[in-house]
């Protein structure tokens, strides 16, 4: 099992959700986050004063999938989230040792 974390632009969330659904991935957690990378932020004007917005709004998706679903998951996220502009985001994949469904006690792949 693997945990896939993706940081994407907020307006791409629905496209990514649909793309993941098409490849058979039905569960995920989405969190509104702020951050920056090479995009660095931007300057805004507020009541006549200019200030720098360092942290940009993003959405963080977290999914735990079977190891054989990882590449399909990555492909779906990449294709749906890509705009070709800076700030499209990143995907991180890490191993998951154990999953337990609290309601039933199912473990590992049966629990995802």
* CATH code for the domain of 87: 3.30.70.120
CA distance 64 to 37: 25
Rg of the chain (C-alpha set): 17
- pLDDT above 70: residue 43: no
Read off the pLDDT band of 55 (50, 70, 90): confident
Mean pLDDT calculated for residue range 63-79: 96
Question: What pLDDT shows up at residue 71?
Answer: 97
CA distance 104 to 62: 22
Give 99-112 pLDDT, tens digit per residue. Answer: 999 999 999 989 98
- Report the number of distinct structural domains present in the chain: 1
Q: Which domain holds residue 86?
A: 2-110
Question: What pLDDT shows up at residue 40?
Answer: 64
Question: What pLDDT shows up at residue 54?
Answer: 73
Could you say which DSSP state residue 21 is in? H
One-character DSSP codes across 42-104: EEEEETTEEEEE-SEEEEEEEEEE-GGGHHHHHHHHHHHH--SSTT-EEEEEEE----B-TTT
- pLDDT above 80: residue 44: no
- H or E element in which residue 3 lies: strand 2-8
Could you say which DSSP state residue 25 is in? -
Give 86-100 pLDDT, tens digit per residue. Answer: 889 999 999 999 999
Question: What pLDDT shows up at residue 72?
Answer: 97
> Which tops the pLDDT comparison, 30 or 56?
30
């Amino acid at each position: 099992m693997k945990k896939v974390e993706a940081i994407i632009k907020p307006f791409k969330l629905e496209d990514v959700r649909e793309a993941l659904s098409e490849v058979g991935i039905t569960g995920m957690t989405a969190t509104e986050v702020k951050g920056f990378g090479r995009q660095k932020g931007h300057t805004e004007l507020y009541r006549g004063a200019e200030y720098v917005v360092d942290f940009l709004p993003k959405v963080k998706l977290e999914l735990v999938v079977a190891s054989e679903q990882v590449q399909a998951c990555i492909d779906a996220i990449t294709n749906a989230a890509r705009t070709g502009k800076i700030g499209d985001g990143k995907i991180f994949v890490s191993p998951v040792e154990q999953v337990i469904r609290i309601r039933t006690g199912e473990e590992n792949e049966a629990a995802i």
